[in-house]
Amino acid sequence: MKVSIITAVYNGGHSIAATLKSIAQQDYYLIEHIIVDGASTDDTLEVVSSNNERVALLISEPDTGVYDAFNKGLRHATGDVVAFLNAGDTYVSPNVVSKIVEELSTHRTQAVFADVLIVDEHDETRIVRNYSSKGFSPRAMAYGLMPAHPTLFLRREIYQLVGEYDTRFRIAGDFELCLRIFAIGSTQYRYIPEALVRMPQGGLSNSGWRSKWAITREMKSACALNGVPTNWIKLCMRFPLKILEMN
């Protein structure tokens, strides 16, 4: 089973080396690593060139945002399974991909996901939050809950069924896609009850209350677009759960 891992990056010269090394260290041999760079102006391309042991394809050109970059990677992916690991994110151990493939092969499921350790951006040993996917169900998406995207491995056939990321969304494009995959579709999935990815704190969806308001607004629009009944109160009920996950 060939696995395509897509990394989106823009001016990530300070962080992408860790991601490249993490994927290069995986003990699963059949990995296609695709880098989609948004025409970085820093040393990103030089860092990739120096750590390209497992890079199958590098695309470097302007894009309209992370979901545009994801779609470019999807169009070039040739794996049976597709996952995303952005610049700065890393797998917690060398056997993460092989563990996922075993789950997909043994149980013949279409999707596998797990938990994420959100760590201090300056000290990855300090865990800020344990993002758990345990409470996910298709119905829970009306409450803003979704699988931890960096751990989501999907059979490529799912993308062929539901399509690409909707680039009209700036922050909640992964949530909207998951609505199509899980809440509207009947995708068979399995949850692995452990953290498989480390993700530095920060990013568009984790940068203060303004970003939380923006992503909640986009989530509401995504639910309306896909005919999933929800409201502001339901979507805001996810915040107490996030607080409980904080260390």
pTM of the model: 0.94
Q: Tell me the pLDDT tens digit for each residue of 14-67.
A: 999 999 999 999 999 999 999 999 999 999 999 999 999 999 999 999 999 999
| Domain regions of the chain by residue span | 1-108, 109-146+165-247
Q: Give the DSSP per-residue string, the chain.
A: --EEEEEEESS-TTTHHHHHHHHHT-S-S-EEEEEEE---SSSHHHHHHHT-TTEEEEEE---SSHHHHHHHHHHH---SEEEE--TT-EESSTTHHHHHHHHHHHH--SEEEEEEEEEETTEEEEEEEEE--TT--GGGGGGT----GGG-EEEHHHHHHH-S--TT-SS-HHHHHHIIIIIIS---EEEEEEEEEEEES-SGGGSSHHHHHHHHHHHHHHHHHTT----HHHHHTHHHHHHHTB-
Q: Tell me the pLDDT tens digit for each residue of 67-81.
A: 999 999 999 999 999
Looking at domain 1-108, what is its CATH homologous superfamily?
Spore Coat Polysaccharide Biosynthesis Protein SpsA; Chain A (3.90.550.10)
